[in-house]
Structure 1
Amino acid sequence: MNRYIAPILLVMILPACGLQPLYSGGSKGAVAATLGTISVVAIEGKNGWLMRNALHDRLGTQNNVSSQFRLVVTLDDRISGFGVRADDTVTRERRTLRARYQLISTATGETVLDATAGSDAGIDVVSSEYATIAGENSALENLMQKVADQIVTRLSIYARGK
């Protein structure tokens, strides 16, 4: 009997804390509606193409809706070696991806949100150059997904408070 009391008390106390779901209302809610009106400005290079696609997938941008906001993203992608053998060959690399993004109101031209997001990944450097390049590309794709998630989460928090 005691094991049922704790969950029931928790359920009764939870509404009193003021927490509300970020995406309440689902695809018809305020956050989803705002995210659907953000257009992502083209980002330079292969990395930019990957990031823009990741953001479009998450934002649910609707083609027939006029944009209320423009999202401008600048990427900084670096690979640095940090595991070094006695013969000065690198055995491990760190790929770091940082994104500075600005949400700009199309009506006023005002920057309503200016923030950064970032993540990094470790890559083993092996004797096969092909395998190392494949590892670097996989790391880039994973980092793009993580950073896009961070950006959309921050945009959602902004849209919720709007």
Structure 2
Amino acid sequence: MSLFDRRTLLLMPLVLAACGFEPVYAPGGSGAALNGKVAVSVPNSTDSYLMVQNLEQRLGRSANSGNDYNLDVSVATVIRSAAITPTNEINRYTIEGRANYALKSNSTGQVVASGAVNNFVGYSAAGSTVSTLADERDARQRLMVILADQIVNELYATPGLGS
């Protein structure tokens, strides 16, 4: 008989409830508290535009008068060569991205959650100039999706946000 049997599986919800686990999208959860109530900062670059677009898809686009929170996000990226041939030609790049965020309550003016997320993506530069530029554009879009997902996950995990 194994240590992990059906009884353990049946007791798991009780253990999670005892430790304060709360579903994100349950009534009163942090997902419900943020859905459609967050105004994301105005983008000032292509990367920040993509970031705002992805955040609004995940958090819901807020009505101008109905937002309870303001989310200020700043994005910085750096392109680095990742693979160099013996003839000193670069055939692979990585884009490293960092996004700093601060969620402020409109009612109190206080910062409810803040932090920074980091990640990277890679793309090939072995093809033509046109394909390399298309690969870079696609990599930037993927990076902004990843960073936006990380920000939303951290916001959903913020204690006391749903109450």
Q: Which TM-score band applies after superposition, normalised by the shorter structure?
A: 0.7 to 0.9
Structure 1 residues 8-157: aligned runs within 5 Å: 8-17=7-16, 18=18, 20-25=21-26, 28-36=27-35, 37-63=37-63, 66-157=66-157
The answer as to whether partners of 1:77 and 1:98 remain within 8 angstroms in 2 is yes
List per-residue Cα deviations over 1:72-91 (Å, max 9, x = no partner). 00000111113122332112
Q: Secondary structure at the match of 2:109?
A: coil
Alignment CA distance shift 1:59-1:13 (3 Å):
closer
Task: Report the residue type matching 1:137 in the other structure.
Answer: R
List per-residue Cα deviations over 1:72-111 (Å, max 9, x = no partner). 0000011111312233211211111110011112223222
Distance 1:64 1:128 in 2: 44
Distance 1:58 1:34 in 2: 13
In structure 1, stretches of 5+ residues that fail to align are none
Report the TM-score when normalising by structure 1.
0.84
The answer as to whether partners of 1:35 and 1:61 remain within 8 angstroms in 2 is no
Of 122-131 and 106-115, the range deviating more from structure 2 = 106-115
**Superposition RMSD on alpha carbons, in Å?**
2.2
In structure 2, stretches of 5+ residues that fail to align are none
Give identity over the alignment, percent: 25
Q: Secondary structure at the match of 2:5?
A: helix
The answer as to whether partners of 2:24 and 2:30 remain within 8 angstroms in 1 is yes
The answer as to whether partners of 1:22 and 1:156 remain within 8 angstroms in 2 is no
Of 69-78 and 100-109, the range deviating more from structure 2 = 100-109
More helix by share: 1
The answer as to whether partners of 2:40 and 2:56 remain within 8 angstroms in 1 is yes
Distance 2:61 2:136 in 1: 29
> Offset at 1:29?
3.5
Distance 1:76 1:56 in 2: 19
> Offset at 1:129?
1.0
List per-residue Cα deviations over 1:106-146 (Å, max 9, x = no partner). 22322222200121012121131111111111111111111
Of 108-117 and 58-67, the range deviating more from structure 2 = 58-67
